[in-house]
Structure 1
Amino acid sequence: MPEMPEVDALVVFLRERAVGAVLADVELASFAVLKTFDPPVSALAGLQVTGVHRHGKFVDLDVDGLHLVIHLAKAGWLRWSDHLTDKRLKMGAGPLAARVRLDHGDGPHVGFDVTEAGTRKGLALYAVRDPQDVPGIAALGPDPLAEGFSVAPLLEGRRMQVKRFLRDQKIVAGIGNAYSDEILHAAKLSPFALASELDAEEVGRLDAAIASVLAEAMAEAHGKPASELKDSKRSRMRVHGRAGEVCPVCGDPVAEVVFADSSLQYCPTCQTGGKPLKDRSTSKFLK
């Protein structure tokens, strides 16, 4: 899933290429991907792109006061092209969900495709007058890299596992499965530790890990073309997606807990005192 560092890099990538262009058209290959009807997505056609912004894991194209908001969900991505074909998308075009055509004055031949792999579809597009009209944006918690961010007040009274705490977009915006694993490894915390029971030292380590892991990931992601961001993310992971491999800190094997529709990776030596975590797969975990 694209998370805050990759989405932020996508936003910068699009800002450099889209701002100043006229949004010529939004072609849909799936009616289900568009979650709004007022204003109609056709209202964006002919308007100039004046900004591109990030809200948590949402991409927001400001189109002369209207907004095209994209949430890439678990398996979505943006694929940029400098030479779009003139052929329009057909409904049900495989992984293609939508195409955004841009015109810099020489025709609508550049832009990007919004794609989604797999059969479980969660990708969403919204045409809105204000980004806050998107329910997911309106409900976002604070951005963890915003000035003055502190995790301590957010932890109070949260009798929930710290892994779930980090992934809850209503509490902290932008962190997903991969970076929550990386943050907890850097903070030397068990994914199953209760958020409300962390002591002052553990809270301090968590705060520092959130800042350092995300800042490093942002720095690594920025400047890379969209086509390289996924591979770059995978190569930076220390524990996430590396079950059975060697922990780069202690040299012991990375372990894994598998759930119905997700998994987490951690280092028992660094994070749980050497004790393996039991598989506690439930319908409530990691929603």
Structure 2
Amino acid sequence: MSDIAIHQLATAGTLSGSEILPVDDGTATLRTTVAAIRQGLAAAGHGHAMADVEGLQAALNAKVPLAAPVFTGAVTVPSGSAASTAVSPSGDRDTGLFFPATDTVALATGGAVRLSIANNGYIALAPADQRVRIIGSSNPNLDIENQAGADNEKLWRLNVNGGQFSIQTLTDAYNAAATAFQVARSGLSVTMVTVGGGIGNESLRVVVASGASRCITVTGSSGGDPAIGTSAGRLALGAVPVLPSYTVATLPTAAARGLIYVSDGSGGKRLAVSDGAGWRWPDGATVS
């Protein structure tokens, strides 16, 4: 606005506001009142008062698109709670994301915390007595991969397929996975547990056999005979060990050292030891 000239009043007492003043705006001489000048010079007259901007925020908010808004900066939301989440679907405030503590994010459904992730990276499921259910296809896999995430970067797989549950270590996308642990079942009953390889290539197998309450079969190891041992001390058995039983006519090969029971040994002898070349009684005599 250009400058205006207000002609000086004659000496007078307190102005009432109704006095008429000549005003020169540069093009013409106009007349106004002292009250009008006072209002123009007041803060409210220039839109400085809060009352002059009431409703402005609502007007600005109305200009934000309701459908697919695009933000160009960070969006900050309140911390929220399980009952009133910070980010939620319309009309369902007790379901969504909230932030229960610094550097912590949580997920709530129905007003209850279901999952939280703290700043140490730990994932907590809550309530603690709730089940975790992963719903997938009829043969779902749960893969753990390294950061690259390609098929040939998988570290291990939790697999459910054809009535069998297994944990597999994967080599690449095209080679067969090496099964480290596997549970085979029929219906709701477990029929076999293997460790160290898939069925037929395992190092330890436990088979549920008809009429047997327990069974452990050691079928092999990597590059040598099956071995059960300890890193220090003795191997303690809680029951009487049962040796394999043979007759003199059916003695197994003696190429490996071993201990067996011979049911028809001469002179009532029963315990036989292999020295790698033949079977002998504890006194050193050849089994006969």
The TM-score, its normalising length taken from structure 1, stands at 0.21
Structure having greater relative contact order (Cα 8 Å, sep ≥ 6) = 1
Higher strand share: 2
Higher gyration radius (CA):
2
Higher helix share: 1
